[in-house]
Chains A and B, each alone.
Chain A
Amino acid sequence: MLYREAGQYKTNYAADMAVFPILQDRIGMAVILLVAFIVFPLVCTDFMLNAVLIPFLIFSLAAIGLNLLTGYTGLLSLGTGGFMGVGAYACLKLTTFFPDVDIIVWIIASGFFSAAIGVLFGLPSLRIKGFYLAVATLAAQFFLEWCFIRVPWLFNNSVSGAIEVPLRTLMGIPVTGPTATSLTRYLVVLSIVVAMTWVASNIVHGRIGRMWMSVRDMDLAAELIGIRLLRAKLLAFAVSSFYCGVAGAMMVFLWYGGAEADVFAIDQSFLVLFMVIIGGLGTLIGSFFGAALIYILPIALRAVPATFGLPIRPAAAEQLTFVIVGALIILFLVMEPNGLARLWQIGKQKLRVWPFPY
């Protein structure tokens, strides 16, 4: 009833091509941002911020990164964990060398290192396609993982072999390190994620995004209409790894506050890939849906037996979670192979024509 576009006339091309062409969408977006920036900080407990919202946002950003590569450009990558790790370790080295520079600058800048590594490992993508490429990116994943363990210089020769996040402040307020409150960290993560999502949205709606999509749909045809494949694919790898790198840096500096190399293991790559596919390939909003579902579902499932007071051993609950998540993945795929974003679309369409069926 409320979600109608009747009476909203577009008078120029720009308005017609807007990201949110319908007024209600724009209002909805504003409400979401308002809730995220003002209501959540007021009402959420530290646990909620630390264990749910911050990881959700970070995973969303990583999922957006992978989505740019896999969903928009059609290049399947399993090296996400490795690229996230590059971001985290680059950030650590940068802030060690230049401790006075603002940490936010380094979190963003570490994305560039990740992008460079991504381009390097993206080079084979010109010749290798499909699952062959996926396995080739596994080379990146395992090689980087090995570097994180075997090169002590990367983690400042610390005895434990782990990243230890130093205390860094932003205008006098601690942002990283043990004394930073979860509220500050949440706000920083939120700001970065919102800003980078906005940039990603502009990229995929513009010339570059269309170039990527044409490569995805058929790279041979794209080449024939004058798209330089090498540049398009490497750019996709670079931007995607940039996003993953920033997500990785935030993960260690603003969420864990210290991490070992196994945080960036192959499981992390798979997890992000799940988010992208379950959320919907080639949609930005899907990345958020996917991250929410894949990250929050196990937490919720673990909480279920406790709330109902069911006598289940913790180990059994963990195993049941695996069974249920596995079954749900298949169920979701069978129900809607195009992901949650597609369900969202269908839902919106239904609302628009309500009360008529079509």
Chain B
Amino acid sequence: MDILYKVFIDPFVQMGMAPDLLVQTLWDGLVGGVLYALIALGFVLIFKASGVFNFAQGIMVVFAALTLVGLHEHGVPAFVALGLTVVVMFVLAFGVERLVLRPLVNQSDIILFMATFGITYFLIGFGQLVFGGNPKVMIAQQLYLPSGAIEFKGLGGFVSLQKIDIAAVIIASVMVAVLAVFFQRTRIGRALRAVADSHQAALSVGISLEQIWVIVWFAAGIVALATGIMWGARSEVSFSLQIIALKALPVLILGGLTSIPGAIVGGLIIGISEKLGEFYWGPLLGGGIESWFAYVIALGFLVFRPQGLFGERLIERI
């Protein structure tokens, strides 16, 4: 009975007792969730358009952030460095399409998945070789990102919101909105959706697959850059950041591999429940449950909806 009390009643009592802590935890979860959603977005963009499960998204985040910081270290002004990083991400997208995707066209999923591992290894080595393996500080101030915190009194205590987190939420929302408009309203966006539906049909109406792939990898690179700036400003730019890609995977399967709204909703669900679980239920199990809690939640959802919350319904024919 004691354990039941601790699992089902005590956490909620704690939530009621200290609403400020609850709000703080929810906010932290929300921010974490938004950032997970951004990474998941990068995955979804590529998976939708090319059917590639891009494991390299995590390292692309690190690589983009490193390029930005590294260029600035060499005396390039912050915004010029930002522009140059965008160019680097385009070159990367172009290179990936030419050297990896094009020769491997029409191979099975697992082979393409494996190839993105090759890209990951390559980028890890290349990034370290060029910019060094030491953690770097994100040039948040030079990019006019706010720092410091806003504190609210009330709810029986106070809640502190980091300004950078607020900026992250706003930038992420703008980014998602822009991508949504891009997908729905522009010519290229429609072509992207056509490719996502069927490669062959898209080809037959004259859409160039190669061009589309470069565009989606470039878009994913831009998303990676934004994610890298945000994560980098919250902690630091180092290669350990790439493990956040693994944290984005449960988000991805929870929302569905092919759904952009899924990535966002999934990100928020995972981010918030992860923080709540860690904070209120974690001590019961000895702490540190953040590493697997998200996966278990995602697994729970999957058992009922195998294609994720917003994924396309699986229809199998023989």
A residues sitting closer than 8 Å to B (CB atoms) are 70, 76, 124, 127-132, 135-136, 138-139, 142-143, 145-146, 149-150, 218, 220-221, 224, 266, 270, 273-274, 277-278, 281, 315-316, 319-330, 333-334, 337
Given A220, A323, A334, which contacts B103 in the complex, CB threshold below 8 Å?
A: A334
A145 and B117 contacting across the interface, CB-CB below 8 Å: no
Q: Which of B271-312 contact A (CB under 8 A)?
A: 285-289, 291-292, 295-296, 298-299, 302-303, 306-308
Chain A residue contacts of B314, Cβ below 8 A: 129
Chain A residue contacts of B298, Cβ below 8 A: 135-136, 139
Bound complex: CA A157 to CA B42 (Å): 43
A334 and B110 contacting across the interface, CB-CB below 8 Å: no
Given A131, A270, A327, which contacts B53 in the complex, CB threshold below 8 Å?
A: A131
Given B118, B249, B299, which contacts A329 in the complex, CB threshold below 8 Å?
A: B118
Measured CB to CB, the closest approach of chain A to B313, in angstroms, equals 13
B104 and A334 contacting across the interface, CB-CB below 8 Å: yes
B contact face: mostly helix, strand, loop, or mixed: helix
Task: Using A138-B249, A149-B288 as known contacts, say yes or no to A330 and B295 having CB atoms under 8 A apart.
Answer: no
Bound complex: CA A277 to CA B109 (Å): 12
Chain A residue contacts of B108, Cβ below 8 A: 337
Bound complex: CA A277 to CA B111 (Å): 7
Measured CB to CB, the closest approach of chain B to A324, in angstroms, equals 8
Given A270, A324, A337, which contacts B111 in the complex, CB threshold below 8 Å?
A: A337
Chain A residue contacts of B99, Cβ below 8 A: 330
A131 and B291 contacting across the interface, CB-CB below 8 Å: no
- 19 A-B pairs whose Cβ atoms sit less than 8 Å apart in the complex: A76-B110, A129-B314, A130-B109, A132-B302, A135-B295, A135-B298, A136-B295, A136-B298, A138-B246, A146-B289, A224-B318, A266-B246, A322-B124, A323-B129, A325-B125, A326-B125, A330-B100, A333-B107, A333-B111
B299 and A142 contacting across the interface, CB-CB below 8 Å: no
A326 and B291 contacting across the interface, CB-CB below 8 Å: no
A150 and B288 contacting across the interface, CB-CB below 8 Å: yes
Chain B residue contacts of A328, Cβ below 8 A: 118
B299 and A124 contacting across the interface, CB-CB below 8 Å: yes
Bound complex: CA A124 to CA B298 (Å): 12
B115 and A330 contacting across the interface, CB-CB below 8 Å: yes
A132 and B100 contacting across the interface, CB-CB below 8 Å: no
3 closest Cβ contacts across the A-B interface?
A322-B125, A326-B121, A326-B122
Bound complex: CA A327 to CA B115 (Å): 9
A327 and B129 contacting across the interface, CB-CB below 8 Å: no
B118 and A135 contacting across the interface, CB-CB below 8 Å: no
A139 and B122 contacting across the interface, CB-CB below 8 Å: no
A contact face: mostly helix, strand, loop, or mixed: helix
Number of contacting residues on B, CB 8 A?
51
Given A135, A319, A333, which contacts B114 in the complex, CB threshold below 8 Å?
A: A333
Chain A residue contacts of B318, Cβ below 8 A: 218, 220-221, 224
Task: Using A124-B303, A136-B302, A218-B318 as known contacts, say yes or no to A333 and B121 having CB atoms under 8 A apart.
Answer: no
Chain A residue contacts of B126, Cβ below 8 A: 319, 322-323
Bound complex: CA A146 to CA B128 (Å): 29
Residue of A nearest to B112 (CB): A333
Chain A residue contacts of B103, Cβ below 8 A: 334
A270 and B117 contacting across the interface, CB-CB below 8 Å: yes
B120 contacts the other chain (CB 8 A): yes
Bound complex: CA A334 to CA B299 (Å): 34
Task: Using A220-B318, A266-B246, A319-B125 as known contacts, say yes or no to A132 and B288 having CB atoms under 8 A apart.
Answer: no
Bound complex: CA A270 to CA B121 (Å): 12
Residue of B nearest to A277 (CB): B114
Bound complex: CA A160 to CA B307 (Å): 42
Bound complex: CA A131 to CA B253 (Å): 8
A274 and B117 contacting across the interface, CB-CB below 8 Å: yes
Measured CB to CB, the closest approach of chain B to A120, in angstroms, equals 12
Bound complex: CA A322 to CA B128 (Å): 10
Besides the known contacts A150-B287, A323-B125, 6 further A-B residue pairs in the complex with CB atoms under 8 A apart? A124-B299, A124-B303, A135-B295, A135-B298, A315-B128, A325-B125
A150 and B286 contacting across the interface, CB-CB below 8 Å: yes
A326 and B119 contacting across the interface, CB-CB below 8 Å: yes
Q: Which of B216-233 contact A (CB under 8 A)?
A: none
Residue of B nearest to A74 (CB): B110
Residue of B nearest to A278 (CB): B114
A274 and B114 contacting across the interface, CB-CB below 8 Å: yes
B123 contacts the other chain (CB 8 A): yes
Given B117, B257, B287, B295, which contacts A139 in the complex, CB threshold below 8 Å?
A: B295
Residue of A nearest to B111 (CB): A337
B250 contacts the other chain (CB 8 A): yes
Residue of B nearest to A151 (CB): B286
B252 contacts the other chain (CB 8 A): yes
B104 and A320 contacting across the interface, CB-CB below 8 Å: no
B146 contacts the other chain (CB 8 A): no
Measured CB to CB, the closest approach of chain B to A115, in angstroms, equals 20
B83 contacts the other chain (CB 8 A): no
Bound complex: CA A168 to CA B231 (Å): 49
B2 contacts the other chain (CB 8 A): no
Task: Using A124-B299, A129-B306, A135-B253 as known contacts, say yes or no to A327 and B292 having CB atoms under 8 A apart.
Answer: no
Chain A residue contacts of B113, Cβ below 8 A: 131
B122 and A330 contacting across the interface, CB-CB below 8 Å: yes
Bound complex: CA A323 to CA B126 (Å): 6
Chain B residue contacts of A273, Cβ below 8 A: 114
A329 and B115 contacting across the interface, CB-CB below 8 Å: yes
Measured CB to CB, the closest approach of chain B to A13, in angstroms, equals 30
B135 contacts the other chain (CB 8 A): no
B151 contacts the other chain (CB 8 A): no
Chain A residue contacts of B121, Cβ below 8 A: 322-323, 325-326, 329
B133 contacts the other chain (CB 8 A): yes
Chain A residue contacts of B289, Cβ below 8 A: 146
Task: Using A325-B121, A337-B107 as known contacts, say yes or no to A220 and B295 having CB atoms under 8 A apart.
Answer: no
A315, A328, A329: most-surrounded residue (chain B CB, <10 A) = A329
B118 and A281 contacting across the interface, CB-CB below 8 Å: no
Measured CB to CB, the closest approach of chain A to B105, in angstroms, equals 11
B292 and A143 contacting across the interface, CB-CB below 8 Å: yes
A132 and B286 contacting across the interface, CB-CB below 8 Å: no
A132, A136, A221: most-surrounded residue (chain B CB, <10 A) = A132
